[in-house]
Structure 1
Amino acid sequence: MPTGYLLRAAAAPRALSDTGADTVRGIILVCLCFLIMTTGDVAAKWALPVAGLTGAMIGRGLFGGATVLGLAVLRGGEGWRRVLPVRWRLVLLRSLLHSAVSLTWYVAWETMTLADTYAVGFSAPLLMTLLAIPMLGERIRWRRALSTVVGFGGVLIMVRPGGGLWTPTVLVLLLGICGLAVSRNLTRLLSTTETPECLSFFLLATHLPVGLLLLTVLPAPGFAWDALIALAVLGLSNGVAHWLNSQAFALAPVSALAPYEYTPLLWGGMLGYLVFGEVPHTSSLIGAAVVAAAGLYNLHREQARRRAERVGRTEETTWPS
């Protein structure tokens, strides 16, 4: 067994941080993550008519797992051994849960626009923030709570309960969003013992056996070169994005990162229009403005907290007790 892995397994769990500097770094990483991940979502929607649900799951698992494994090797040190889990049962549970989440999104993309699915998905940050209290013991500062409430108001504007978005497919997607919120919090919890490479590798690689299992009940994927390239883009982008996501959740509290779950609507709305000619509802655009304002306010508060921490450290150095 590699020495580095044994040291990680024997070491005490790392403490979860909640400092202004780490939180701002986490916010930057998670925003970059969602930009890259949205590109993969566009690729998945492009491939679905040919590859089907099974092809999307298999492609994401195969190409995504290989991408993360490559990132682990390029980092040096333990190399590929960085993907070995310490708490393997919890890692596997999170990975299987996220595979089910992915399936609900792929089902939704067969009939819904990217912007509409992201609009419904905006309920995830609220669930993440609330679940972080019992799952992670996080303390929710009143400003973070306020930004979450404001963001949820934007969700209500976009989703419009009783409106055109409420279909049976939305109900399936909502189940997946509940699983997504749990999965995000498990990412934060597991970051105390697992590497970003481990968390992202198993999350993506598990899609491969799940996709193969689905072949027993769903049609086999078709073949076209453009669909195959799209699946490769899906896996590559998701590998990098989930690697960044795991690092972000190791740095920042869930309640600070949750508002940035809203940013895919911005990227997805633009890419959906450019690639598929999709036009989001006016209510989606209005709601996006509300949730973006809530997220930017949260970033402003974290930057202010970082400046206050620096001032405090300076004063302690100048005026020792």
Structure 2
Amino acid sequence: MTSDPATNDNLRGAALMMLSMALFTMNDVFMKSLAGEVPLYQILFIRNGVVTLAFLALAYRSGALLRGLSRRDLMLATVRGAAEVATAYFFLTALFNMPLANVTAVLQSAPLMVMVAAAIFLKEPIGWRRILAVVAGFSGVLLIIRPGPEGFNLYALYVLISVVCITVRDITTRKLSREAPALLVSAITSAMVCLCFGATGIGSDWIALTPRSGGLIAGAALVVMGAYLASVQAMRLGEVSFVSPFRYTALIWALILGFVVFGDWPTDLTLIGAAVVVGSGLFSFYRELQVKRAARVPSMR
């Protein structure tokens, strides 16, 4: 560690972001391992029920539960929760039917989509270099999903839909006021996932959990809570432009765990496409950092 507090915070933030990506990927492994064994609605009802209770307890302990949300923030939190419900359905359905690394690689285009949406709906500035990076990034996505009679399937479309849902979720999150407690917003989001999927399971068969399936769901709940807390703390400790690029370490974990656990390894075209997507995202973060630094430099005229 250096003696510069800002540098130390950035390094801690980067380490926490990498930890959160590892935990999120482990959650995906646990969930994918349950495919065909337990219905999706049952998995999410149980997992998010546990996560919701934990977040509510933390929100109560921190005082966030008593402070509550303004009417505007409550509406935005509800929209955010609806976007997360759609994300859970499309992403996990795709994950159950596609290799882990392929799904994760397409998901890495989400920051690029969020950047475009922020420029359109939040009027955040975006230069021509970053526009070219977005075009390159989505060209990489096309290499991964290969829209054609041989490479493309319905579940690849599901991943793309989940990216759109993530964009809606993140743009809505940006519109929340600074006073909105993150723990309470997360609890509302998790509760909506729990209740919506629980409702879809009414009248359907619920499977008796085995020690294996119960353990996988418990593991998923535990790691996803750790992932959320680590990612929030990472963004609070470090600068966004420094910490955010470490999200792409999720792809490394997906490659390793996908091969070790499921025996999947992407094709060369998929790897090239993933490299293009990640490279485009990293360049976008680099340009954002340059623009912010230039804005802080006083004019010499």
TM-score in terms of structure 1 length: 0.74
* 1:94 partnered with 2:47: no
2:5 alignment counterpart: none
* 1:207 partnered with 2:193: yes
2:136 alignment counterpart: 150
Per-residue deviation at 1:98? Answer: 0.7
List gaps (5 residues or longer) in structure 2. 1-7
* 1:192 partnered with 2:178: yes
Per-residue deviation at 1:192? Answer: 3.1
Secondary structure in 2 matching 1:140: coil
How far apart, in 2, do the equivalents of 1:236 and 1:111 lie? 24
Q: Give the counterpart letter for 1:101 in structure 2.
A: T
Distance 1:242 1:144, change over 3 A: farther
2:31 alignment counterpart: 44
Percent identity, please: 29
List gaps (5 residues or longer) in structure 1. 1-20, 317-321
* 1:280 partnered with 2:270: no
* 1:78 partnered with 2:94: no
Q: Give the counterpart letter for 1:240 in structure 2.
A: G
The answer as to whether partners of 1:260 and 1:295 remain within 8 angstroms in 2 is no
Distance 1:304 1:136, change over 3 A: closer
* 1:121 partnered with 2:104: no
TM-score in terms of structure 2 length: 0.79
2:53 alignment counterpart: 66
* 1:172 partnered with 2:158: yes
User: Any residues of structure 2 matched to 1:199-278 within 5 Å, and which?
Assistant: 199-216=185-202, 218-245=204-231, 257=244, 262-278=248-264
Per-residue deviation at 1:220? Answer: 1.6
Q: Give the counterpart letter for 2:69 in structure 1.
A: P
Secondary structure in 2 matching 1:49: coil
How far apart, in 2, do the equivalents of 1:219 and 1:88 lie? 34
Per-residue deviation at 1:89? Answer: 1.8
Distance 1:243 1:169, change over 3 A: same
Distance 1:129 1:300, change over 3 A: closer
1:137 alignment counterpart: 123
The answer as to whether partners of 1:105 and 1:176 remain within 8 angstroms in 2 is yes
Secondary structure in 1 matching 2:86: helix
Per-residue deviation at 1:136? Answer: 2.1
Per-residue deviation at 1:306? Answer: 7.0
Q: Give the counterpart letter for 1:291 in structure 2.
A: V
Secondary structure in 1 matching 2:27: helix
The answer as to whether partners of 1:199 and 1:246 remain within 8 angstroms in 2 is no
